[in-house]
Copies of this chain bind each other. A is one copy, B any other.
Amino acid sequence: MILEEPLLCEQTVPGRQGYSLPEPGANLPPKEFLRQAAAKLPEVSEVDVVRHFVRLSQQNYSKDVGLFPLGSCTMKYNPKTTDAAAALTNFAQAHPMISEEEVQGNLELIYELQNYLAEIGGMDAVTCWPAAGSHGELTGMMMIRAFHASKGNPRKKVIIPDSAHGTNPASAAICRYEVVTVKSNQDGILNPADVKAVMDEETAALMITNPNTLGLFEKNIQEICEIVHKQGGLVYCDGANLNALLGIVQLGKEGVDVLHFNLHKTFSTPHGGGGPGAGPVGVKKKLEPFLPTPLIIKENGRFNLEMARPQSIGRMKAYFGNFGMLVRAYAYIRELGPAGLRRIAEMAVLNANYIRKGLEKTYHLPYPSPSLHECVFSDKLQKETGVKTLDIAKRLMDYGFHPPTIYFPLIVHGALMIEPTESEPKASLDQFIAAMKAIAKECEETPELVQTAPHKTFRGRLDEVKAARELKLRY
């Protein structure tokens, strides 16, 4: 039984308190500085607040209740251990403005994490400051721009495949690059020839995702990197799908010059309903001078911060990145070790292939090349019954599952992008496959049941058009 819960503002009773504070004195700053109209925050008791958030929380589906197969998002189990690690007093209470002397533990942790990530990605140096994947992309592309600028020409363009995530072109744009889209071939990957056709000396970089967003390995990556490098370009790799490659492939070895990591995907810092994340970036030696400040330098077993780096792109964010997320990723890597990390990749890929196999006779598989960590289906077979991807997604909820990512990548019409991750037990994959098959059957037999889904959730299908038209963004 999930209970209705009004907004807290609607529960306000003037004068009701939820705080516990000493009574302040009477004196106040000069009147002309004082706030005229108080902020209308709720007036409720602690009881009201606790109930409010407990009730609201119960309206959410979460990874901790079941399969959350959002492709490209790597919704794996988030260890409680790493949350507890970040909450250790001396980590959580460390103020970022104290001297290096007093935070040697933090600096060591970040320094080591940089090394671990460099090893995992096959890169030469890593910065942990970006706050999420997209921020990592921006940081990486800024380094690429600075690199080219240092050679006299920042260049104008960036090549991005049509299967790329929206953040890639958006990040390139903030670096003032023009985006050149290159199409994937019939196998869902990039043709070296297609890259060659657009690559020139005004192209700063290729931004590629490997494995790409179809879950396929860009097997021509080395050749493509050579093409780009030959024209003086650099290769940026979006590491969002690194989970498939841990301990299997070091992307740096392929020729990638810049790589970002999504700690909230591969290294299991929780998604928190949308964040926070962390997006460290690894670079090859030639890009090291451009790393954002500050740098952590190890000297005689002590860790110092270096601020003055003439070629650095500068600071990307106040303080030291999303440190709490770095602690979690560090703890995760230390718990798993080399064999554990490799096993993650293996089981993530096995799980994806198991689902693919289970559904390939029921749903259309637009790209039959071998899948790694995720597989992408489409609604092609169901469409004739009048049911579309969105309906199938909503109907999955009635079966107790979170839907996969839908309508992405854009190159698959009506895409259903399924990434189970390694932490999912076989039983839940079997149940998911059974649900997807049952829905396919419903599409034929009772399409309106699917079209009007979900039926068992706290809310029925929500009117998104109305939300955008009658914009109501606050109480």
> Given A1-B2, A1-B400, A47-B423, 7 more contacts at CB 8 Å?
A11-B427, A47-B77, A50-B64, A51-B65, A54-B65, A55-B65, A58-B58
Tell me how far the C-beta of A273 lies from the nearest C-beta in chain B, rounded to whole angstroms: 15
B64 lies within 8 A of A51 (CB): yes
Tell me how far the C-beta of A43 lies from the nearest C-beta in chain B, rounded to whole angstroms: 12
Q: CA of A48 to CA of B64 in the docked complex: distance in angstroms? A: 9
Q: Known: A425-B13, A427-B11, A457-B1. Contact between A66 and B79, CB under 8 A? A: no
Interface string of A333-377 (1 = CB under 8 A from B): 001000000000000000000000000000000000000000000
A-B contact pairs, 29 of them (CB 8 A): A1-B2, A1-B61, A1-B397, A1-B400, A3-B65, A3-B66, A11-B427, A13-B425, A13-B426, A13-B427, A16-B425, A20-B81, A20-B335, A45-B423, A45-B425, A46-B77, A46-B79, A47-B77, A47-B423, A47-B424, A47-B425, A48-B425, A50-B64, A50-B77, A50-B80, A51-B65, A51-B66, A54-B65, A58-B58
**Is A319's CB within 8 Å of the partner chain B?**
no
A58 lies within 8 A of B65 (CB): yes
Chain A residue total in the interface (Cβ 8 A): 37
Specify which of A1, A54, A457 lies most central, judged by the most chain B CB atoms within 10 Å of its CB: A1
Q: CA of A50 to CA of B456 in the docked complex: distance in angstroms? A: 24
* Chain A stretch 183-235: residues in CB contact (< 8 A) with chain B: none
User: 3 closest pairs, A vs B, by CB?
Assistant: A47-B77, A54-B64, A47-B423
The residues of B that contact A423 with a CB separation of less than 8 Å are: 45, 47
The residues of B that contact A81 with a CB separation of less than 8 Å are: 20
**A interface residues with partner B (beta carbon < 8 Å):** 1-4, 11, 13, 16, 20, 45-48, 50-51, 54-55, 58, 61-62, 64-66, 77, 79-81, 335, 397, 400, 423-427, 456-458
Tell me how far the C-beta of A76 lies from the nearest C-beta in chain B, rounded to whole angstroms: 9
Q: CA of A46 to CA of B422 in the docked complex: distance in angstroms? A: 13
The residues of B that contact A77 with a CB separation of less than 8 Å are: 46-47, 50
Specify which of A16, A425, A427 lies most central, judged by the most chain B CB atoms within 10 Å of its CB: A425
